[in-house]
Amino acid sequence: MSDFPSVSKEQKHYLKALKHNLRLIQIARILLLFLFLGLWEFTARFGIIDSFIFSSPSQILKKMVEMLQDGSLTGHIAITLTETLVSFFLVTVLGIAIAVLLWAFPRLSAVLEPYLVVLNSLPKSALAPLLIVWLGSNMKTIILAGISVAIFGAILNLYTGFCETDPDKLKLIRTLGGTKKDALFKVVLPASVPLILSIMKVNIGLSLIGIVIGEMIGSKHGLGYLIIYSSQIFQLTTMIMAIVILCVIAILLYGAISLLQKYYFKRHQ
């Protein structure tokens, strides 16, 4: 039985070529990663670069195994991951809720929009020290720092997306006697799901950035704290290891949202 019974030979050839191209790209990415790691290890072992400053993949792996065995690394990862997920959840819920509020009350949006633009334009790293001074050094403050990085942009983008909903569909709802609540739940929110998922992909990374900034400034736990502490005592292998772990976490979280997005589009094709 053919894999593509309802398509022409030309379409089959195109789809096979497309799959082949995607496979080649994935292989090239993996080879590039291994080439980089191999070159890094080679230059560190033979003294081309200073292994004390730049470390090496083998040193990083050894340090990771040591810290996993004594349980210290697991604790730092768990704290950073928990703070990031809580921050991301709150950004998503609050972003949608406030954007809906602005959409429902145009006068309120006209008043608040300039302030949201200003807050979104502020360097977020400047807010974290203030939050820690005002609220103290604790997990709640770190989570709030993570929220502050992503929330304002999320609100503005969601509000803009809500306002760009198909006006003909909104007119139809009003013509049929529907209320603003009907327009929101039957037109605006369903039409905005792809936008919400796209913004979530951005916000998961921004939340992680905010959490790491907060941990660097005012925490005794987490990967951000591990990075800043190890840099102060010149344990550069530990610092690079923490950065690598953050990269892996970012990739996994982004990948999870991407899978959710693909599942939604597959269900609604």
Whether residue 4 is contained in a domain is answered as no
pLDDT-derived band at 126 (thresholds 50, 70, 90) equals: confident
Residues 68 and 42 in one domain: no
Q: Are residues 33 and 141 in the same domain?
A: no
Same-domain pairing of 34 and 108:
no
| C-alpha distances in Å from residue 62, one per residue of 56, 231, 238, 241 | 10, 18, 10, 10
In the 8-state DSSP scheme, what is residue 165? S
Do both 45 and 75 map to the same domain? no
pLDDT of residue 1: 43
Range of the domain at 38: 9-49
Quick one: pLDDT at residue 2? Answer: 45
**Does 36 share its domain with 124?**
no
Q: Let me know whether 130 and 188 are in one domain.
A: yes
Look up the CATH number of the domain holding residue 154. 1.10.3720.10
Residue 189 lies in a domain: yes
How many folded domains does the chain comprise? 2
Whether 23 is in a domain gets the answer: yes
- Rounded CA gap, 117 and 242, in Å? 33
Task: Name the pLDDT band for 6 (thresholds 50, 70, 90).
Answer: low
Q: At what angle do helices 139-163 and 72-104 cross, to 10 degrees?
A: 40
- Tell me how far CA of residue 204 lies from CA of 75, 100, 161, 190, in angstroms: 21, 21, 19, 22
Query: Which amino acid does the sequence have at 126?
Result: A
Q: How far apart are CA 238 and CA 250, in angstroms?
A: 18
- For the ranges 100-109, 167-176, 229-238, 241-250, the lowest mean pLDDT is seen at 167-176
Q: For 52-110, what is each residue's pLDDT tens digit?
A: 889 999 999 999 999 999 988 999 999 999 999 999 999 999 999 999 999 999 999 99
Question: 106 and 27: one domain?
Answer: no
Question: For the chain, what percent of residues have pLDDT higher than 70?
Answer: 97
* 235 in a structural domain: yes
Q: Are residues 156 and 257 in the same domain?
A: yes
Indicate whether 130 and 62 sit together in one domain: yes
Using only the alpha carbons of the chain, give its radius of gyration. 24
> What residue type is 108 in one-letter code?
L
In a domain, 195, yes or no: yes
Residue 220, classed as helix, strand or coil, is coil
Please check whether residue 155 lies inside any domain of the structure: yes
Examine residue 2 and state whether it is found in any structural domain, yes or no.
Answer: no
Half-sphere exposure of 81 (CA within 13 A, CB side): 16
What number is the average pLDDT over the span 160-171?
88
Do 198 and 105 belong to one domain?
Answer: yes
Are 87 and 143 within one domain? yes
Same domain, 109 and 191: yes
- Mean pLDDT is lowest, of 5-14, 22-31, 73-82, 124-133, for 5-14
**Do residues 142 and 83 lie in contact, with contact meaning Cβ atoms separated by under 8 Å?**
yes
* For residues 171-199, average pLDDT: 88
